[in-house]
Amino acid sequence: MSSPATSKSNYIKLLIIVSGAISAAAGLFALYGWTGDNHLFTALIEGAPRLHFLPAVSFVIAGVSVVLTVIKRKTPAVILSYLLILIAVFEILHFAVGHQAGIDGFAVIFGFEESEFHMTLIGSLAFLFVGLAIAARWRTKKRSAIVSGSFGAFSLACGLGTLLAYSSGYLEHMKWNPSTELSIPGAVAFLVLGVAIIAQSSHRQMNLRTDWKHFVPVVLLVVGLTLSFVMRHYFHAKDVVSVQNTVSIELRSLSKTIESEINDRLVANERMARRWAVHGGTERPEWEKDAKRLYRDYGGYQAVEWVDPDYKVRWIIPFEPNKRALGLDLGATPNRLWAVKKAKETRKSVVSEPITLV
């Protein structure tokens, strides 16, 4: 019969293995999604940020490395953790000084755009801490367990904070910026990696017979700071949504106002046209009276003109500012010709592209 301590140890080991497997699975699913350009496997939700190629590979490495630590395969676990650290450092350098260290060459080899290949800065830092935590697993100093757990807390906080952000209902605004954006699969993987590393650190402290209670404040500090960072972005995104909604309402209102004013002008124009059609033409003084009324009552007109059957301008209101347009051939340019022909054929108002009158 196993002792309670042994049973607890076995549960912790199982938790670590499951967490590592989930991380590796998230990476493998994303890699499979990229091979077939399947958005579901790389993002889980349509329109959400996708888990890029390099972080997907890193999640596989991290997950396998975590599992190897449980089954006590030190050499491959350490090698993988150092590889993870190396990738993270290169990515941090890429953000810090634009130093790509040849990584973009791999993007070309695998047929990826740069925007589909790299990690974000927050992801690079989390992978760095995960790699350091896994590497610290094999150190025998008591303090290393606390440091390792703190690194795990950062990973957990990144994943948890991102998932909270996505669940807030502001999905399209939680990309934040290229430095902080995390995908949903990436957030889940960081969350379980953080759980695995914290559980591993707790297990080590049990074996080293240290007081695990000293570890709690460190975890809470890291989680609290990270969540504060996330919530800052959350409230910023909420403000952005509020501003966009306000602007959208104002634009819709303005659009309706403009549409209404244009319709009023079209109705007035067509009323003049119907009067012309009913009477078989309108005497020039009467037409000018109608045109002046139209020009006065509805702002925004440069001129009201009458065009003869040959598409030449014959009457103009107001005349003085636009007298150069007298005799202008509207059929001389394709844009004007199309508009006047269309109006003649349909007997309706036609809106042309912007033109210079004279």
DSSP 174-236: TT--TTT---HHHHHHHHHHHHHHHHHHHHHHHHHT--GGGHHHHHHHHHHHHHHHHHHHHHH
Each residue's pLDDT tens digit, 170-184: 545 444 455 667 888
- 24-38, 96-110, 114-128, 323-337 — which is least confidently predicted? 96-110
- pTM score, whole prediction: 0.59
Top-confidence residue, 332 or 139: 332
Contact between 200 and 16 under an 8 Å Cβ cutoff? The reply is yes
pLDDT band for 136, please (50, 70, 90 cuts): confident
E-strand ranges in the chain read 304-307, 313-317
Instruction: Give residue limits of the domains in the chain.
Output: 4-249, 282-346
78, two tokens = 């350490």
Contacts of 84 (CB under 8 A, 6+ apart): 58, 61, 62, 65, 127, 128, 130, 131, 134
As a whole number, the mean pLDDT across the chain is 77
Q: Return the half-sphere exposure (C-beta side, CA atoms, 13 A cut-off) of residue 41.
A: 15
Q: What is the pLDDT of residue 5?
A: 58
How far, in Å, CA of 358 to CA of 349, rounded?
21
- Give pLDDT tens digits for 193-240: 988 888 887 776 655 454 555 555 555 666 666 666 666 666 666 666
Rounded mean pLDDT of 275-304? Answer: 79
Task: Retrieve residue 291's tokens.
Answer: 């045109």
The confidence band for 298, taking pLDDT boundaries of 50, 70 and 90, is confident
Quick: pLDDT tens for 100-131.
555 666 666 666 676 778 888 888 888 998 99
What one-character DSSP code corresponds to residue 350? -
Spacing of C-alpha 137 from chain mean position: 37
More confidently predicted of 332 and 30: 30
Structure tokens at 214: 């000293």
Does 77 score more than 50 pLDDT? yes
